[in-house]
Amino acid sequence: MLRLLLLLIASIGPGLLWLWYFYRQDRYEPEPVKMIFKVFVAGLVLVIPAGLLEQLWRNQILSAVHAGNWPSFLVTAFFVIALIEESLKTGFLWWLVGNNKELDEPVDGIIYGITLGLGFASLENLLWASAFGFGVAALRAVITTLAHASFTGWMGYFISKYKFFSPVFTVIMSGFLLAWFSHGLYDFLLFLRNPVASLISFIIIAGLLLRLYQIIQKQVAHSPFKK
């Protein structure tokens, strides 16, 4: 029982802390806590269909890992894991907030996207930590959690862009392609198990997050609810 409690704290706790941090950035018209909770839980739940779909390619994934074959890594990262996970996250994010009245200023899309990504990462962290221990939980708490937040956060940015500035389908597709490509590249570099490749993947995530943070600050500064 104690181990389960510690695993929950180590796995889901960081996601909630990051959620609290990003939620506080929306200073003038913060989203309803009930809606944030709903989107976070949706992220948690999405791990289940994503995992089931990825199981269909379980043998190919294991084969790629054991063989250390980079073309196999490339296909697995981009066309199995990233494609499945970002398709599900994009679809559910749009379904939950795309036409929701609570999406009433541009920054909201990013906040909801980050929230969904953090929910997804939190349950993933718990499953990985349950299988491989607290060391994996500590590493994923910082890197993987923020990686998922950035992928879906960017998708949320494009949903807001579609709603407020440019209501054409290519905007949504651009958001999905960015989330999918950055996720696939991140996983591919980590699959290589090379220190330089891993460092590049971390730099990519840091860059995505930094730019997203800058956009959040800019959108908040120009919030229509700012007095």
> Range of 40's domain?
2-221
Residue of 198, 197, 154 whose CA lies nearest to 177: 154
In a domain, 217, yes or no: yes
Tens of pLDDT, residue by residue over 35-80, are 999 999 999 999 999 999 998 888 877 777 776 677 888 988 999 9
In a domain, 226, yes or no: no
Determine if residue 68 is left, alpha or beta; phi over 0 gives left, psi from -120 to 50 gives alpha, anything else beta: left
Q: Give the pLDDT confidence score for residue 134 in this predicted structure.
A: 65
Residue 207 clears pLDDT 90, i.e. is over it? yes
Burial of 171 per CB tally in 10 Å (0-12, 13-18, 19+): middle
Structure tokens at 159: 């949903």
In a domain, 146, yes or no: yes
In a domain, 12, yes or no: yes
Task: Give dist(CA 181, CA 177) in Å, integer.
Answer: 6
Q: Give the pLDDT confidence score for residue 137 in this predicted structure.
A: 64
Q: pTM higher than 0.75 for the full model?
A: yes
Q: Give the pLDDT confidence score for residue 136 in this predicted structure.
A: 64
Q: Give the pLDDT confidence score for residue 219 in this predicted structure.
A: 95
Q: Domains in the chain: how many in total?
A: 1
Higher pLDDT, 16 or 7: 16
- HSE-CB of 147 using CA atoms within 13 angstroms: 26
Residue 112 clears pLDDT 90, i.e. is over it? yes
Residue 224 clears pLDDT 90, i.e. is over it? no
In a domain, 214, yes or no: yes
In a domain, 187, yes or no: yes
Task: Give dist(CA 4, CA 80) in Å, integer.
Answer: 30
- What lies within 8 Å, CB to CB, of 169 at 6+ separation is none
In a domain, 39, yes or no: yes
In a domain, 227, yes or no: no
Tens of pLDDT, residue by residue over 125-155, are 888 777 666 666 677 777 889 999 999 999 9
